[in-house]
Structure 1
Amino acid sequence: MTAHVLMLSSSRQGSEPYLEHARAHIFAHLGDIRDLLFIPYAAVTQSFDAYVEAVASALPECKVVGLHTFDDPALAINNAKKNGQAIVVGGGNTFHLLSKLYANALMVPLKHAIADATPYIGWSAGSNICGQSIRTTNDMPIIEPPSFDALDIVPFQINPHYTDYQPPGHNGETRDQRLAEFTALNPSTPVVAIREGTALVLSKRTLTLKGNKDGFIFLGNDKKAIQSGQDLTQLLNQES
């Protein structure tokens, strides 16, 4: 596989403007490419057109076109590399995103495009779908996709927006407890938890954590810290 994939935890870090922290990661990943084929399907409470406009405003150096504007979205994905485009998938609701991808028969074209080295950038929900499944998303299941199976670009689960903060007086489960529930039932499947402001980069068959914060790998009963800049390529050979 020659995948070239940027998996951002979030579109924002703290109170900064939309995609501000992500710009350096995005442009480093894009190289000379400035044409973006944007998939807005994770949006629920805003229109797809408004979502495209928000991304275009945050990345004025780029030409951003929404996949929803094409009569044949599968063909648009198939032709992205030939047209000099990167494929970008924004955040929102992961269940809605996956449902739309299945409904439009786009899962296989996306897998093929990514395997063929079409640059891919996702954040939040757009990163979630790069894992084996969306079973470690933080989102509410507002719609039921045909399957929880995702793109399986990396052979593990992803948990974006990871936090170990517990509000005082809050008696609901912590994120660690929720992830421990997953690993209790799936003890051989790693979950890579990445904090806001960080990203996983898969390129040249190498996987690295980028950003200014550490992350964690949950596997079975273990929770192991990973550092920014750490080579995580061994996870690509993980059998689960």
Structure 2
Amino acid sequence: MLNLLLLSSSSYQDTGYLTHAKTYIQDFLKECDSLNEEILFIPYAGVRRNNDEYEKKVKESLNQENIVSIHRYNHSKEAILKAKVILVGGGNTFMLLSKLYEYDLLDCLAQRVKEGACYIGWSAGSNIAGKSIKTTNDMPIIMPKSFNALNLFPHQINPHFISGKIQGHNGESREERLEEFLIANPQEKIYAIPEGSALRIKDNKVKIIGHNPVLKFEHPMKSTTLELNQEYPY
């Protein structure tokens, strides 16, 4: 049984760090009967802050004293395999996946979520829940062992999705970059999540929550709008 909450971003407009996500996370934990469980936090995507700083920021922002970073445990695998709620923060997706491979945690993390642990991620933490990180927006600052990710959600995810070209930007739009991926990988599907929105995944259905609809892209480049508060098979 899968229980995933995949947020596009840690912030929405000017609401502050994780402010918009508090209600989504609380509702998710209630649905999972895990409101009072310890939350295991994985901070490896945070390149510009150390593990202690990242843990402190998330605890304070969510007002959750029961968040404990994985770096405080002597045995990381054991911590994952005992966890009932796992929270994976954003930052750089390549660094996050690289660390999970380096510490040999990717398979046991996937195993634990498939066994029933609740999974919450945002940005990079959402990216790695998909099939691979090939549709991340992040700069490849480090080379992971593979681009293959947790594959809990068996499709591609593109967080922070912004449609169209930003004024003054002469490079490719997000749609054009995703079209390139689909030309190279025509069998894949991409779920493009605007900021302020999230995928709520339970078993084989995905529900769109937040402020904006989600777009599903397929080859040849065509999009399907997934409306807010609606459930879809995937």
Q: 2:88 corresponds to which residue?
A: 89
Work out whether 1:152 is the aligned partner of 2:151: yes
Could you list the runs of 5+ residues in structure 2 that have no partner in the other structure? none
Write the letter of the residue equivalent to 1:227.
E
Counterpart contact for 2:163–2:174, Cα < 8 Å:
yes
Q: CA deviation at 1:165?
A: 4.0
Measure the CA separation in 2 of the matches of 1:195 and 1:157. 14
Counterpart contact for 2:19–2:62, Cα < 8 Å:
no
1:35 to 35, 38, 45: 38
Give SS of 2:192's match: strand
Q: Please, what is the CA RMSD of the aligned residues?
A: 1.1
Give SS of 1:97's match: helix
Measure the CA separation in 2 of the matches of 1:202 and 1:225. 17
Could you list the runs of 5+ residues in structure 1 that have no partner in the other structure? 236-240
Measure the CA separation in 2 of the matches of 1:34 and 1:197. 25
Q: 1:75 corresponds to which residue?
A: 78
Give SS of 1:232's match: strand
Give SS of 2:71's match: helix
Measure the CA separation in 2 of the matches of 1:76 and 1:177. 41
Counterpart contact for 1:161–1:195, Cα < 8 Å:
yes
Deviates more, 1:201-210 or 1:148-157: 201-210
Measure the CA separation in 1 of the matches of 2:12 and 2:42. 22
Counterpart contact for 2:88–2:122, Cα < 8 Å:
yes
Q: 2:15 corresponds to which residue?
A: 16
TM-score by length of 1: 0.93
Aligned length: 229
Give SS of 1:161's match: strand
Measure the CA separation in 2 of the matches of 1:33 and 1:143. 36
Write the letter of the residue equivalent to 1:27.
Q
User: Hey, which bits of structure 1, 4+ residues long, moved more than 2 A?
Assistant: none
Deviates more, 1:146-155 or 1:217-226: 217-226
Aligned residues with identical type, % of pairs: 42
Q: 1:227 corresponds to which residue?
A: 227
**Which whole-Å deviations, capped at 9, do the CAs of 1:134-172 have from their partners, x for residues lacking one?**
000000000000000000001100000000142223210
Counterpart contact for 1:8–1:199, Cα < 8 Å:
yes
Give SS of 1:101's match: helix
Counterpart contact for 1:74–1:109, Cα < 8 Å:
yes
